[in-house]
Structure 1
Amino acid sequence: MKANMLKAYLEKIHIPDVFVVPSLSFKPKEAMNQLIEMVETYQASNSDSSLCFIGSSLGGYYATWLAEKYESRVVLINPAVNINDLFKRYLGNNHNSYTGEDYCLTMNHVHDLETFNVDTITQVDRYLLMLQTGDEVLNYKHALDKYVGAPSIVEEGGDHGFAEFERHQETILAFCGINCLKKYA
């Protein structure tokens, strides 16, 4: 939902080529390999461009690892932090409502996810943390603890999907270094 909203907004202001929404494998190692390949392909042909990752929930977990690896900016929206605790609830058969894919989550997948944990955040100023206290899936306080010192937007209420996300699109893009106003000219 959020990715589609942001993509539509960028199309509306005539800069759709600055944003990629990847379709990833549910298998953590495969997903991360897909992301690394995308980033390195992009960097090989765009050496003058900086990267900014945007991730929500598990995407926020992946984006944290990528931001540290590539020393990039990152916007985290209700990010997953305690992977082991979170994903044990989902062991077994699941359905991805975004891709329509059915899959079986195993403890091996959870262990693979743990390999992408970032214990120490290095430049917190590269992170924009967006949280809503009403997140019914994740405890927002865990993210506050992990990303202490990062610029943050913490809103009372809301939900895991980040209610009224569209209000923050320009803030997100500005943090990523995209000047929306120049693109209208």
Structure 2
Amino acid sequence: MTTPVIIFIHGFGSNGYGSKAQAMREYCQQHSIPYSAPSLSHIPDLALQTLRELIEQLQRVSGERSLCLMGSSLGGFYAQVLALEYALPVVLINPSMHAGRSLRRALGTAINYYDDSPYQWRESYVDMLDKLEPSYPLSFSKEQCWLLAQTGDELLDYREAVKALPQAKHTIEPGGDHGFQGFASHIPEIVSFFRYAITST
């Protein structure tokens, strides 16, 4: 059975040890699945540079067909950009579809959730996100992209993601929140989705 190599991309102000990243890490460790969840710069261009270098390194080691992406919130935005660029399967969890617009409201001092340290979220960073935004709707198929969203997301409107990803696999749960309640229960199916995606292409 082909084993996926999974990269998890965290959201705004978060890190590679957030609750979803850690739940995924623990599952992958238990099942000997190669996994990476880098803690990224808050500067979008630097975050994307780190992710591109990681993707290209892992592709050289593991082969292009094994690599899979998943991302939450802003990480979901990055994940779809990179999935388009590298033609990779992707799972998006309450993703931001218009990250520049959404994060304009965060301009000023923001807080890193890892240690509550402050940093400056600048207009130039919003401009970077605006330039990255793909042209929607995207043509991801049900075999390449799985959207996981909850209608109770208090920060992002799940309907934007549904509209932007019309051909993707959709799991839309009522209620919940931006953190995606009950995420861990979906992990075995996420891994199965990735296994199928890398063997069917």
Which residue in the other structure is 1:67 paired with? 83
1:93-108 aligned at under 5 Å gives the runs 93-98=109-114, 100-108=116-124
Show the counterpart of 1:30. Answer: 46
Select the residue among 133, 137, 143 that pairs with 2:161: 143
Superposition deviation, residue 6 in structure 1: 0.9
| Unaligned residue ranges in structure 1 (runs of 5+) | 179-185
The answer as to 2:96 corresponding to 1:80 is yes
Number of residue pairs the alignment of both structures matches: 176
Checking the alignment, whether the CA contact within 8 Å between 2:151 and 2:158 is kept in structure 1 is yes
Equivalent position of 1:181 in the other structure: none
TM-superposed CA distance for 1:158, in Å, is: 0.4
Counterpart secondary structure, 1:170: helix
Does 1:3 find its partner at 2:21?
Answer: yes
Q: TM-score scaled to structure 1, two decimals?
A: 0.90
The answer to whether the Cα contact below 8 Å between 2:101 and 2:130 also exists between their aligned partners in 1 is no
Give unmatched runs, 5+ long, in structure 2. Answer: 1-18, 197-201
The answer to whether the 8 A contact 1:68-1:122 is kept is no
Secondary structure of 1:54 counterpart: strand
Return the letter of the residue paired with 2:157: N
Matches of 1:100 and 1:176 in 2, distance apart? 34
1:161/1:167 Cα in 2 relative to 1: closer, same or farther (>3 Å)? Answer: same
| TM-score under structure 2 length normalisation | 0.83
Report sequence identity in percent: 35
Deviation at 1:47, TM superposition (A): 2.2
In the alignment, is the contact (CA less than 8 A) between 2:139 and 2:167 conserved in 1? Answer: no
User: Deviations along 1:99-158, whole A, 9 cap, x unmatched?
Assistant: 644211111100101222111423333110000000011111111111112101100000
Cα offsets for 1:2-52 (capped at 9, x unmatched) = 110011112223x15x11001100000000000001111111222264211
How do residues 167-182 of structure 1 correspond to structure 2 at under 5 angstroms?
167-177=185-195
Give the RMSD, CA atoms, in angstroms.
Answer: 1.5
How far residue 81 of structure 1 moved from its aligned partner, in angstroms, is 1.0
Map of 1:40-51 to 2, 5 A cutoff? Answer: 40-47=56-63, 49-51=65-67
Contact 2:140 2:165 in 1 (8 A): no
Cα gap change, 1:98/1:146 in structure 2, threshold over 3 Å: closer, same or farther?
A: farther
- Please give the alpha-carbon distance, in whole angstroms, between the structure 2 residues aligned to 1:149 and 1:48: 23
